[in-house]
Amino acid sequence: MPITANTLYRDSFNFFRNQAASILLLALLTSFISVLLNQAFSPDIEQLKILSATESDLTSTAGMGIQEIIQQMTPEQQVVLLKVSAAATFSALVGNLLLVGGMLTLIRLVSEGQRTSALRAIGISAPQLPRLLLLLFICTLLIQLGLTLFIIPGVILAISFSLAPVVCVADKKGVFASLRLSCKLAFANAKVIIPAMMLWLAAKLLILFMVSHLSVLTPNVASVALTALSNLVSAILLIYLYRLYMLLRN
């Protein structure tokens, strides 16, 4: 029997409906951790003021690319910008690590008929987190490089590596073995992976557009809410990909 996207969508949303409480808690918990880490490692207000540009500076950088703008900054501004970027990247990576590890473990335990919770899933996933961290770091680095050089290579890499975390957790394979198998399966099953990935990317972009409409909330509350919503979208995609991989493996 062929694997269809409609079947995977139905199975994914059925699982999400049955485990909604645990998934929502996991999304909120990892969102809170990401925002908390970002606040902890970001430069303080005094340092952030260094990045404030005068009106004349902003006018002079009009039409410039990102690299040119950075080159126009003072060394102090470049250092602060580096700290801001490093804090955002680190907090996002840790949040994604806990989300992916906890979510995939939750799916596996529930599929095996075990009752579990978000916290227990994260705890059980702990031994696999170092390997998963390296995998996510490599995937994130390559995808970001692809998006920076040209958008299409980044999207292709995102699709190619989409099953790698599932393979790594479900079969406990090594990092590079998971990447190789993910690329092979992704291209062989592109017709059911690409639509899901495109919907995921569209949902992520929609969440970014919502930032300007949450001005009534404090910055920290808005960050937690938007990150939790983004994590929720990623959790649904993980359910979809996990179900696909189980069908392919069987």
Read off the pLDDT of residues 77-97 as tens digits, 9 standing for 90 and up. 777 778 888 888 899 999 999
Per-residue confidence (pLDDT) for residue 233, from 0 to 100: 94
Single pTM value for the model: 0.88
- Tally of CB atoms within 10 A around 185: 22
Residue 169 CB partners (closer than 8 Å, separation 6+): 100, 101, 104, 105, 108, 125, 128, 132
Structure tokens at 45: 């207000």
Read off the pLDDT of residues 95-132 as tens digits, 9 standing for 90 and up. 999 999 999 999 999 988 888 888 999 999 999 999 99
Of 174, 154, 150, which is closest to residue 162 (Cα–Cα)? 154
Instruction: Evaluate if residue 193 carries a pLDDT over 90.
Output: yes
Read off the pLDDT of residues 14-30 as tens digits, 9 standing for 90 and up. 999 999 999 999 999 99
> In this structure, is the dihedral angle defined by the CA atoms of residues 162, 163, 167 and 169, taken in order, positive or negative?
positive
